[in-house]
Amino acid sequence: MATETQKLLAKHQKLIQSDGRKVISHVQREDGEWIQHTLMLEGMEVPFKFKRKKKYQSLKGARVNLIYYPETENVAGMEFEMMKVVRLKRT
């Protein structure tokens, strides 16, 4: 029987799963009624972003499993690559 993660990855072809990645930076900032989280992972030069209703404990130095997809964000007329996190789990 397929796990929930396997079903999600099979249904959405652009999703990427990455396990055991080390968080080197975790920033949280308010964005209206949401909290915008930005992670930088060891060995990656692209930010990983997700939103939650509440603040999260700091993930700096932690190892995490992620499911995400690449996205482009336009800031001041310039395009920046980022990763949109669908699921995050601390290992």
pLDDT in tens, 1-60: 456 666 665 666 678 889 999 999 999 999 999 999 999 999 999 999 999 998 888 999
Domain ranges for the chain, please list them.
4-90
Element at 6 (helix H, strand E): helix 4-11
What CATH number has the domain spanning 4-90?
2.40.50.460
Quick: pLDDT tens for 68-79.
Answer: 999 988 888 889
Could you tell me which of 22, 88, 84, 82 has the C-alpha nearest to residue 56? Answer: 88
What confidence score (pLDDT) does residue 1 get?
Answer: 45
User: Is residue 83's pLDDT more than 60?
Assistant: yes
What confidence score (pLDDT) does residue 15 get?
Answer: 86
Q: Which residues pair with 78 in a beta bridge?
A: 75
What confidence score (pLDDT) does residue 45 get?
Answer: 93
What confidence score (pLDDT) does residue 44 get?
Answer: 92
Contact call for residues 66 and 85 (beta carbons, < 8 A): yes
Contact call for residues 70 and 83 (beta carbons, < 8 A): yes
